[in-house]
Amino acid sequence: MKDLFELAAVVGEKLKARGETIAVAESSSGGLISAALLSVPGASAYYLGGAVVYTAKARMRLMEIPREAAAS
């Protein structure tokens, strides 16, 4: 976990330096990517938001990902 949070700090600094933002849609990571990015002080400068859509049924309904795409 420590490595993940250290990497998120590097990514966050690069996003801020470039004036870029990020939004994430997570499934099997269960929100871990968002948690890592938000652990960095000043994350509101680059983090727009995220969604954790965990089950196949939720992916199809909430994100409109077809069943065929989820199977590949």
- Per-residue pLDDT tens over the stretch 26-41: 988 999 999 999 999 9
Residue 49, domain extent: 2-71
CATH number, position 42: 3.90.950.20
Average pLDDT of the segment spanning 56-65: 83
- Residue 54: which of 25, 24, 23, 30 has the closest Cα? 30
| pLDDT tier at 64, thresholds 50, 70, 90 | confident
Domain count, the chain: 1
Residue 47 pairs with which residues in a beta bridge? 22
- Quick one: average pLDDT of 12-39? 95
Q: Which two tokens stand for residue 47?
A: 């983090």
Neighbours of 20 (CB within 10 A): 10
